[in-house]
Chains A and B, each alone.
Chain A
Amino acid sequence: MCAQCVGPEASDAALCRDVIHRLCSAPRCDEVSRTLMVGDDCEQTLTARTTCGDETFAFTSPDRARVLSCRLNLLRQGDGVEVHPDCFDTSDFMVTCPDVVTLLKPGAP
């Protein structure tokens, strides 16, 4: 009966942090560590790189719609924030969304 019940939109910062949390949550996929050059402090490192710890953060390029589209790869196991994506899905995300991956890499603008 409440299939159409939804809440408000999450902010760009919350969305960005959600993507980072899904990529970094244990057990972290090897491709994430290798491509994004992160270790056990993955989540802190990526949050600092992207500055999406700041609630005023906003997506520019890639834009919010692009990030949401790429994020779908990471939601295949579920949209709960603590659900860990499959490494196959993570690899899909890395391959199909290089622009979003660039945002997470060191030296991103």
Chain B
Amino acid sequence: MRRFLASLLTLAVASVSQADETVRVERGPLLRTFERPVLVTGGVSATAQVSWPTLSLLVTGYDTCRTELVEEYAEEHIEERSSRAGGAAISAGVFFAALGVGLLAAQGLMSNVPDTSVIDGAGRYGPSQRTVGRGFAIGFFIAAVPTFAVGLWSLLRSGTQTQSVKVEQVASQKDVPCRERPLEGPVVLVLDDSTRLQGLAREGLVSFDASQLGGKDIGAVTFFERQVVLDDEAQATVDAFGSCAALEQPAPSATAQLPNGVLIDRLEHARSCRALRPAQMAPLLQELSAELDRRPGLQAPPEP
């Protein structure tokens, strides 16, 4: 019975002591604007030069220098606490206490004769009216004190609290490569059949010979397995070098016997290589174009 009453009391206290909390955020005026420099991870880039039959790459590491435009605002965090049950708890506490006092005051009106209709297992009569009244009065006081106290505490906790903070917002940012430096380490040409040609960059410089490519095109350039970024000019130079290297391989047959696909392929390679070896490619282009014109229904692909 005591455990039940204690659990009931705990539940009542817990439910009364809960407060409703709301947090509101209000943004204030713009305080200031400033630029903040940030260093961010960059990458690896390369420029390309060809002095036939050698491709030279200058491999450069770089960071990214970011400039953030930051706006600083004032912000207010407003916390509002209210307790719906606080007032009710105080009233309940006062009510229980009044009941207890009332019962104690009315004791004189209650009979003190024991209840002889019952003799319990310990050989005692049942309690008199006065004893029962006193017991209930004590119970009401036990309920009244914590109920009143918790109600009072809930009401005291109610109110509003405001906290002002500064918050930042990045309005815009600008990234530029910076801190460029030549790199040293393994540079790999990944060919279009996944063959890997490795060279070693010293003070950023690494070279490859056309004969190493075996007629295959260059797919990608890596440095310590990281992709090397080639700008448009460098990419065009590398592609042209690959095309020239492909044309160094002997044709499978005479031009007139070449299958259509191979003929067009060689024409495209010759056009690409022309950027590096114009004098050598002119007669080959003429021969291939003439053969293309001779074949009915076959058209040369447009020039890039």
Contact = CB atoms under 8 A, between A and B. Distances in A.
B124 A14 contact: no
Give chain B's interface secondary structure class: mixed
Contacts of B125: 6-10
A50 to B, nearest CB: 16
Interface stretch (B32-40, B60-68, B114-122, B212-220): B114-122
B119 A2 contact: no
14 contacts: A2-B131, A6-B125, A7-B125, A7-B126, A7-B131, A9-B124, A10-B116, A10-B119, A14-B116, A64-B123, A68-B121, A68-B122, A71-B121, A81-B119
Please name the 9 residue pairs, one residue from A and one from B, whose CB atoms are nearest each other, closest first: A7-B114, A1-B139, A7-B125, A2-B135, A5-B127, A5-B135, A3-B1, A10-B119, A7-B127
Interface string A1-39: 111111111100011001000000000000000000000
A80 interface: yes
Interface in B119-148: 119-128, 131-132, 134-136, 138-140
Given A1-B138, A7-B131, A81-B118, 4 more contacts: A5-B131, A6-B131, A15-B123, A82-B117
Interface in A32-81: 64, 68, 71-72, 75, 79-81
Contacts of A64: 123
A18 B118 CA distance: 10
Contacts of B128: 7
Contacts of A80: 117-118
Interface residues of A, number: 22
Interface of B: 1, 5, 114-128, 131-132, 134-136, 138-140
Contact of B115 (A7, A18, A72): A7
Contacts of B123: 9-10, 15, 64, 68, 71
A81 B116 contact: yes
Contacts of B114: 7-8
A10 B124 contact: yes
Given A7-B115, A81-B119, A2 B124 contact: no
A79 B118 contact: yes
Nearest to B2: A3
A72 B121 contact: yes
B119 A15 contact: yes
A64 B123 CA distance: 9
A15 B122 CA distance: 10
Contacts of B127: 2, 5-7
Contacts of A7: 114-115, 124-128, 131
Contacts of A18: 119
A18 B119 CA distance: 8
B129 to A, nearest CB: 10
A63 B119 CA distance: 18
A14 B132 CA distance: 23
Contact of B121 (A8, A9, A75): A75
A66 to B, nearest CB: 12
Contacts of A68: 121-123
Nearest to B114: A7
